[in-house]
């Protein structure tokens, strides 16, 4: 069964909305150089290019006013010529009558917009050497600094009523080399006696993220009180420090926060975070999820102040376990799992005005939709439908808004009718780009796997696709490993960019990906080289039956677990492919598992530690380095030297092996990038080398 997805529907909304008309040949506006101008070549080419991706405005940090009448959000833009970024705060009416307005034009890059009340906005911005809290009216007038901190802060949020706030600051609790040896001020060494000395992309810097609570008096933010004073733990949770892990109660008297109060070896082997309830006036703290041994995160107080919703995973050490929606009654202290009978995840919780219903985002067959749950009956209803991803959700005074995008169009803000699911687009950040470029058709296919299951595969075609031609075709291998090939718009692994370069893209939702039930998602753990690899081959073999796919010009590409997949396929593809690209892939599972930082992940997914007897199948059979005797295909390796999840030495091992075996190979390594490639010029270099390698061997 094949289904053509008309993603152009969103583009038509973008082009036909009643915003002010603008020239197709110019993207210049009040944001000046950061908005950039399309070149004549880009206009005539009318397709995605690496350079064009960095001219997109990126919508984030959506905040709905208390009365539901207006929405704050940020737009971040980049100047590729200088590698600089800048963020502006915008406002748009929730009724969509007026177009968005830039509230922070002319001042340094701003972030973290928060409503103080319906008429005033607080936000973060530089003032001198430190980031401070600023205040302005809802129309952007009367901007002024209202904090005076010697050190910069992270995020913050205003309590309902606008009289107090929490903010984040790093607190130094551990001793550095200079603390121990003050006579060695130039020494660069770091000394550790426990694990978690580095995490994701950063070395431990002897500090911890702490939550401070401060009063707002006479329009000024006072010095805050550290509610984790002296505790050597981070809140919110590293490495992302997501402020959705912190929530105010309706009356501002309590603060719920997530913390993983473990250190060293215990921290790296466990996912056991808990939700703590802090009484602001009494200055007491209570652990409300004690005994729940997986991740507990994302607390949200009900609108009546009597309940607290949160996400909980059941299995210790399994970071991709089912995200269950729990409700905690603050009076009875009872907990109830609202989604016990629902075979899907739940995130981004919001309560209705009566505290009777919860809305959340869930994955359904490689899309992300808004759902409704009854807090009493636990009945669950689908609110939105369509081929898209909702990524954020908020609800105030009966008004619901969310951010939604597709793999062809980045996220914009939509108003949603909670009863009918009807949607109204409110922002059109990249309208001018879509006035110019063409996108390729996206097709949904269901393909039989080797064990008789139905697998959803996205097929992305080049713009102006001609079925009479034969096209080089790429198998896209997803990372995670438990991360759906959904409708997320990527600024690096961009399907439309691959299609614009003349490739058909085959993107299977193989075993181990969420949105198809927990059994499908969990199957990959302990079976990295098993059924999911066969799923990849089922997908590409099925497409090779089509007359427009050139089976003599097939490539396979992927990052992280997708990079591992490419390295494993390199020794197990039976000459299907003519070129490979692996970004930050695992080459030797023993060396990777011994050098990564969160040990719970590899311990769970690889079936134990590599020294245990008998060895798990992962180490005994599924490590790509065990199959290099069958490598026979050109391969490119890409990695970042600040990637601590899959250290860059994995890619070096693979490249050295290919070189020593006389296999055509290339290494692209970044001294200043992590598991991702985030700097504009590095990203453009990435794309040029990526397509240069594919074009060399497949065109």
- Interval 188-212 mean pLDDT: 96
Residue/partner pairs of 322-328 with CB below 8 Å, 24 or more apart? 322/518, 323/347, 325/349, 325/358, 325/360, 325/373, 327/358, 327/375, 328/288
Alpha-carbon distance of 149 to 126, in angstroms, equals 11
Omega within 30 of 0 (cis) for the link into 614: yes
pLDDT value of residue 490: 96
pLDDT value of residue 35: 65
314 closest CA partner among 345, 286, 285, 287 = 345
Residues 258, 274: contact at Cβ < 8 Å?
A: yes
Q: Over 70: is that where the pLDDT of 25 sits?
A: no
pLDDT value of residue 678: 96
Q: What angle do CA 395, 396, 398 make, to 5 degrees?
A: 85
Provide the token pair at 656.
């050295």
What is the DSSP track for 137-161? ETTS-S-EE----SS----EEEPTT
- Interval 169-194 mean pLDDT: 96
Please report the beta strands in 397-534, taking only residues with DSSP state E, as ranges in sequence order.
399-405, 412-416, 423-425, 442-448, 454-460, 471-477, 504-508
Q: Over 70: is that where the pLDDT of 133 sits?
A: yes
Residue numbers annotated as active site: 560, 643, 675
What is the DSSP track for 528-555? TTTHHHHHHHHHHHHHTTSTTEEEEEEE
Q: Over 90: is that where the pLDDT of 654 sits?
A: yes
Q: Is 592 exposed, middle or buried (0-12, 13-18, 19+ CB in 10 A)?
A: buried
Q: Is 608 exposed, middle or buried (0-12, 13-18, 19+ CB in 10 A)?
A: middle
Provide the token pair at 433.
């780009």
Q: How far apart are the first and last CA of the chain?
A: 30
Q: What whole-number percentage of the chain has pLDDT above 70?
A: 95
Give 29's pLDDT tier (boundaries 50, 70, 90): very low
Please report the beta strands in 161-320, taking only residues with DSSP state E, as ranges in sequence order.
164-172, 198-199, 202-203, 207-217, 220-221, 225-226, 246-248, 254-259, 274-279, 284-287, 296-301, 307-312
Give 26's pLDDT tier (boundaries 50, 70, 90): very low
Give 37's pLDDT tier (boundaries 50, 70, 90): confident
Partners of residue 443 on adjacent β-strands: 4, 459
150 closest CA partner among 172, 132, 174, 124 = 132
Provide the token pair at 459.
């097929």
- Interval 42-66 mean pLDDT: 94
pLDDT value of residue 108: 86
Q: What whole-number percentage of the chain has pLDDT above 90?
A: 91
Q: Which residues contact 454 (CB under 8 A, 6 or more apart)?
A: 446, 447, 448
Summarize pLDDT for 307-357 with one digit per residue, the tens. Answer: 999 999 999 999 999 999 999 999 999 999 999 999 999 999 999 999 999
Q: Over 70: is that where the pLDDT of 553 sits?
A: yes
Alpha-carbon distance of 12 to 340, in angstroms, equals 40
Torsion of CA 384, 389, 390, 392, to 10 degrees: 170
Summarize pLDDT for 446-502 with one digit per residue, the tens. Answer: 999 999 999 999 999 999 999 999 999 999 999 999 999 999 999 999 999 999 999
88 closest CA partner among 99, 101, 97, 79 = 101
Residue the block writes with tokens 């696709």: 465
Torsion of CA 228, 197, 524, 616, to 10 degrees: -130
pLDDT value of residue 17: 32
Residues 533, 568: contact at Cβ < 8 Å?
A: yes
Helix axes 531-543, 561-570, angle to 10 degrees: 70
Domains of the chain as residue ranges with CATH: 439-698 (3.40.50.1820)
Q: Which residues contact 180 (CB under 8 A, 6 or more apart)?
A: 191
Please report the beta strands in 429-503, taking only residues with DSSP state E, as ranges in sequence order.
442-448, 454-460, 471-477
Q: Over 50: is that where the pLDDT of 264 sits?
A: yes
Distances (CA, A) of 421 to 64, 187, 397: 18, 60, 17
Q: What angle do CA 561, 567, 569 make, to 5 degrees?
A: 100
pTM for the predicted model, two decimal places:
0.94
Partners of residue 15 on adjacent β-strands: none
């Amino acid at each position: 069964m094949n289904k053509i997805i008309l993603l152009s529907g969103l583009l038509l909304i973008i082009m036909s909305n009643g915003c002010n008309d603008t020239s197709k040949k110019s993207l210049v506006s009040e944001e000046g150089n950061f908005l950039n101008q399309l070149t004549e070549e880009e206009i005539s080419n009318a397709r995605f290019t690496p350079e064009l991706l960095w001219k997109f405005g990126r919508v984030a940090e959506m905040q709905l006013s208390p009365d539901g009448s207006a929405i704050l959000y940020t737009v971040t833009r980049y100047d590729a010529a200088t590698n600089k970024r800048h963020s502006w705060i915008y406002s748009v009416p929730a009724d969509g009558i007026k177009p968005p307005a830039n509230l922070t034009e002319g001042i340094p890059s701003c972030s973290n917009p928060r409503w103080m009340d319906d008429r005033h906005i607080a936000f973060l911005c530089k003032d001198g050497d430190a980031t401070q809290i600023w205040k302005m009216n809802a129309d952007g007038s009367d901007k002024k600094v209202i904090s005076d901190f010697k050190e910069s802060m992270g995020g913050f949020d205003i309590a309902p009523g606008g009289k107090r706030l929490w903010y984040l600051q790093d607190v130094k609790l551990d001793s550095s080399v200079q603390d121990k040896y003050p006579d060695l001020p130039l020494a660069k060494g770091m000394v550790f006696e426990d694990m978690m000395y580095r995490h994701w992309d950063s070395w431990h810097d002897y500090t911890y993220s702490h939550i401070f609570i401060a009063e707002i008096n006479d329009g000024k933010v006072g010095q805050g009180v550290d509610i984790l004073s002296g505790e050597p733990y981070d809140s919110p949770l590293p490495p992302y420090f997501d402020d959705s892990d912190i929530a105010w109660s309706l009356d501002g008297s309590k603060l719920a926060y997530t913390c993983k109060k473990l250190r060293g070896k215990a921290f790296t082997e466990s996912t056991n975070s808990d939700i703590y309830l802090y009484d602001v006036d009494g200055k007491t703290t209570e652990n409300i999820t004690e005994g729940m041994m997986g991740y507990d995160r994302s607390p949200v107080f009900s609108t009546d102040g009597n309940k607290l919703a949160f996400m909980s995973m059941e299995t210790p050490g399994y970071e991709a376990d089912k995200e269950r929606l729990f409700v905690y009654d603050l009076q009875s202290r009872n907990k109830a799992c609202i989604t016990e009978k629902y075979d899907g995840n739940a995130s981004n919780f919001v309560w209705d005005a009566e505290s009777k219903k919860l809305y959340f985002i869930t994955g359904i067959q490689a899309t992300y939709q808004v759902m409704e749950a009854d807090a009493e009956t636990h009945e669950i209803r689908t609110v939105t439908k369509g081929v898209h991803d909702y990524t954020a959700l908020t609800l105030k005074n009966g008004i619901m808004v969310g951010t939604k995008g597709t793999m062809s169009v980045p996220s914009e803000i939509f108003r949603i009718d909670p009863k009918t699911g009807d949607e109204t687009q409110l922002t059109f950040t990249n309208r001018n780009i879509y006035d110019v470029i063409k996108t390729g058709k996206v097709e949904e296919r269901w393909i039989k796997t080797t064990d008789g299951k139905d697998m959803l595969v996205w097929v992305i075609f080049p713009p102006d696709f001609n079925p009479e031609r034969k096209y080089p075709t790429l198998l896209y291998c997803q990372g995670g490993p438990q991360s759906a090939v959904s409708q997320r718009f990527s600024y690096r692994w961009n399907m439309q960019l691959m299609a614009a370069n003349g490739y058909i893209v085959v993107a299977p939702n193989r075993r181990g990906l969420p949105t198809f039930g927990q059994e499908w998602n969990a199957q990959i753990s302990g079976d990295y080289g098993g059924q999911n690899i066969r799923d990849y081959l089922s997908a590409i073999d099925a497409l090779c039956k089509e007359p427009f796919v050139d089976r003599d010009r097939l490539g396979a590409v992927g990052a992280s677990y997708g990079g591992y997949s490419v390295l494993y396929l390199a020794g197990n593809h039976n000459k299907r492919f003519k070129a490979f690209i692996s970004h930050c892939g695992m080459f030797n599972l023993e060396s990777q598992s011994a050098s990564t930082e969160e040990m719970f992940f590899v311990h769970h997914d690889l079936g134990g530690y590599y020294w245990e007897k008998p060895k798990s199948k992962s180490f005994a059979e599924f490590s790509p380095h065990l199959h290099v005797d069958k490598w026979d295909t050109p391969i490119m390796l890409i990695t970042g030297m600040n990637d601590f999840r899959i250290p860059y030495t994995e890619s070096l091992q693979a490249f050295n092996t290919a070189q020593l075996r006389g296999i055509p190979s290339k290494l692209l390594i970044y001294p200043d990038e992590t598991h991702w490639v985030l700097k504009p010029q590095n990203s453009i270099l990435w794309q040029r080398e990526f397509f240069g390698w594919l074009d060399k061997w497949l065109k």
